[in-house]
Chain A
Amino acid sequence: MSSQLKKARLAPVIAILALALTACGEEGSAQGGSSFSDPSQGVSPTSVDFGLIYDQTGATASTQVPFASGIMTAFEQANESGGVNGRTINPVECDEKYEVAAGVACLKTMIDQTPVVGVSGLNNGSFQVAAVELVKNARIPVIGPQSTSEAIVNPFPGYIWATMCPYPTQADVSVAFAASELLGKDDFRAVGLGGNVASGDSYLNQIAERVEKMGATYVETIKYDMAAPNLDQQAQRVSTIDPDVIFMHGGASQGVTALKSLAKFGVTDTPTLAIFGLLADQIPLAAPDVGDDFYAMHCFSNAKLSDVPGVAKMIEAAKAAGYGEEIYNTTDFTNGYVNGLVIVEALKRAGDELTRESLNEAVSTIQNFDTQGLSPQVSFSSEDSVGVDSVRPYKFDYENRLWQPVGDFEDYEDCNAHEFVEGNIEAWSPDCIK
């Protein structure tokens, strides 16, 4: 027998050894808790697995990492106080990399490979579309994508529950707030400034629709490239049109670039209303001249608003979970935290016999869930999968370096025309602010 063959025989032995070694790393625990378990859905008597699919390394990591951190903070907070119905919540993370393929692999893995009872995340628009069918077939509840596109809301999906205010709600409040609070007239001239991506088009179309419905003039949508190094041309165009108000779409990086360019071209006194993606400190700090007329819509209060009752508890939980200011001071963190509270609430309501089906059932029963000012009250029903129905404008306070809300969430409740659910904006009028 030659040495070659002996060597070849070693291979399986090594493989088995390796397998045995990993087996040793497995921990086994059995103590107290519930008697119900369903390993095929990630539920054991003492713990429950919940999936978090989010972008950890890709283009949107800067917003999704704080979002997921918020969810995990809510989980740890629940675990500290004894878990939910005797079970500790165990987050199972997966990096979606802002790639559809990676996201789909994550979701499929969580459906039957490393099964979880429910998932959160699914924040990238195209991934959401790819996920809808998978989610329906697997009947697995998705609680809280960080963005809410029409594709996951209408038609009513049955298993996807949104805790983020959708674009139409932001458009409802933006236009009403501009017309009745900032300008005080119906015959203004507006321009839109939006990225050359799908969400930019759809948001600014919703704005244009409302501006025109009230009889004002929507001059044009000025587009920019999401990766553009500056927005000089767009700013120059805005200064030529000289509108009464600017409606803006984009994310934090684009916001900084836009404000710097607007300042460069002297567009410093025109009220500018933006979407939630633009509620980041660095934007107004980038160009204070523009920033003092800059408003961003949002449905969450961030950790710097010390007079919001829910904030103290959130910060305490964030610190206990080991997150720094850098992470928990962002509105994305609050978004995640509220989302985590909703998940915990749903797990509670699902009771002892926790399954995907009972969890999904439980979400639809959540009504007027109070987050102590961190967000509007969260309400779902078996027809309405959008839980957060109100937004309010925020304006940057340079003295205290934080975003101050303009009014309460309730003041803007009536503005919501529920366009995604109703299919039109008949119910919308600019005089909706209390």
Chain B
Amino acid sequence: MPTKTINSSYRADNRLIQSRARWTWLAILGLGLLYLPHLLLNREFLGLTLSNSQLLGLSLSQINVALLFIIAAVALNVLTGYTGLISLGNAGFFALGAALVAVFDLQHDLPFVLVLPSVAIIGALVGVIVGIPALRVRGLYLLLATLAFHQIAGYLFLEYQQANYGEIGVIYAPPEVIGRWALNSETRWYFFLLVLTTMTLVGANNLLRTRQGRALVAIRDHDIAAASAGIDVNGVKLRVFGMSSAVITVAGALYAWYLGVAEASMFSIHFALDFIAMIIIGGLGSINGAVLGVLLIQLLPQVITTVSAQVTSTSPMVGELLGRNGPQLNDIILGLIIILIVIFKPAGLNGIWLSLKRSFVRWPYTS
């Protein structure tokens, strides 16, 4: 069996999923994802009852938040990882999404199928405006320009919230997607978000195979060289800002709906930085990386807590240390992972995965 599929036609080379083995794996993954809600809600696997620690203390609501974050992280990775445009504006776009839902759904009572596209369009427009500084500045200065957007968006959300909803924040009811069918249970949210996440992943993968997608990478690698190669650098930059912002704003809208409440302090700078951490840990410029990064950051704390609870029952001394400082240890571990990845594995988790895979494939001819 060849270790790499050799494409003998352009059509084959253009396929999104290139080998039969990939199809098999994707099918298994798909079945697993369909089974996941049952596993997590009923805590049993093929008749075998599983305890919380066997499920690593995970719950469906954490998975749902993770799916939402994957949508946003993938969009951010297209902007930052592929195009090289650094943005700290994520929390700001989440705030924008939450505010737009308040305007369209709560104040004007638009149907769900209209709210989401409107949110996306306005998100894209604001994204283009935020992207304008990207035409003049790059690198760190762009990071600071988007930090300014973050602050402004947070301030405007606060003013809007205080003017219309007062102290505690905007309160949302579960959205009715079609007719009376509302997103009012974890399982419904799960499948809804699973569809959206899959669409985002396929969309992003597709985008990167187009001429536009290659232009993004060219701009990241050298924007002036890209311009001399005939790429409309400014146009592409604004378009990618708009596209990525639209998706992130939609994620923000869904986030507000999912939580049922939105309040200015939710969209803090740390919230924005979390997304940067996700895409860097996962691997800048890789779609899979964004997914892996989200999963690590979202689910690691729960796993550490569960493991430390286990340790406590076996060795109280270590358990005491872990139990009292659990969240701090979580931060230290996460901080170390970030630093180690930056220093030793710049390609992130995805890079580690790829090199593992490669060494498996080439075994025993691996170094």
Contact = CB atoms under 8 A, between A and B. Distances in A.
Given A108-B186, A126-B261, A130-B261, A198 B168 contact: yes
A323 B56 CA distance: 29
Nearest to A12: B28
Nearest to A25: B310
Interface stretch (A95-103, A209-217, A244-252): A95-103
Interface stretch (A3-11, A174-182, A230-238, A328-336): A3-11
A198 B65 contact: no
A146 interface: no
Given A7-B363, A99-B266, A2 B59 contact: no
Interface string A12-56: 000000010011011100000000000000000000000000001
Given A109-B59, A129-B261, A95 B168 contact: no
A199 B167 contact: yes
B259 interface: yes
A370 interface: no
Contacts of B262: 100
Contacts of A128: 168
Given A57-B328, A112-B41, A149-B167, 11 more contacts: A22-B56, A22-B310, A26-B54, A56-B326, A97-B327, A101-B266, A108-B61, A113-B43, A113-B52, A126-B168, A198-B167
A151 interface: yes
24 contacts: A2-B1, A3-B364, A23-B51, A23-B54, A26-B51, A26-B54, A27-B313, A56-B327, A95-B327, A99-B271, A101-B266, A105-B59, A109-B62, A114-B52, A125-B167, A126-B168, A126-B261, A126-B265, A129-B168, A130-B261, A149-B167, A151-B168, A201-B167, A202-B167
Contact of B266 (A95, A126, A133): A126
A104 interface: yes
Nearest to A149: B168
B198 to A, nearest CB: 22
A82 to B, nearest CB: 21
Residue of A130, A134, A201 ringed by the most chain B CB atoms within 10 A = A130
B21 to A, nearest CB: 8
Main SS of chain A's interface residues? helix
Contacts of A114: 52, 57, 59
Contact of B53 (A8, A25, A126): A25
A25 B171 contact: no
B53 A26 contact: yes
Interface in B1-58: 1, 3, 40-41, 43, 51-54, 56-57
A109 B61 contact: yes
A223 to B, nearest CB: 12
A57 B335 CA distance: 14
B110 interface: no
A129 B363 CA distance: 56
Contacts of B266: 99-101, 126
A2 B166 contact: no
Residue of A19, A26, A105 ringed by the most chain B CB atoms within 10 A = A105
Interface residues of B, number: 47
A417 B171 CA distance: 29
B139 interface: no
Interface in B299-334: 301, 305, 310, 313-314, 320, 326-328, 330-331
A4 B168 contact: no
A133 B1 contact: no
Contacts of B133: none
Contacts of A108: 59-61, 186
Nearest to A26: B51
B61 to A, nearest CB: 4
Contacts of A5: 1
B235 interface: no
Contacts of A2: 1, 3
Contacts of A19: 54
Residue of B259, B360, B363 ringed by the most chain A CB atoms within 10 A = B259
B260 interface: yes
Contact of B59 (A3, A113, A130, A134): A113
A134 B174 CA distance: 12
B169 interface: yes
Nearest to A55: B327
Contacts of A199: 167
Contact of B65 (A101, A149, A151): A101
Given A22-B54, A25-B53, A101-B65, A129 B171 contact: yes
Contacts of B186: 108
Contacts of B61: 104-105, 108-109, 113
A129 B361 contact: no
B255 interface: yes
B261 A100 contact: yes
B263 interface: yes
Contacts of A125: 167-168, 263
A23 B54 CA distance: 6
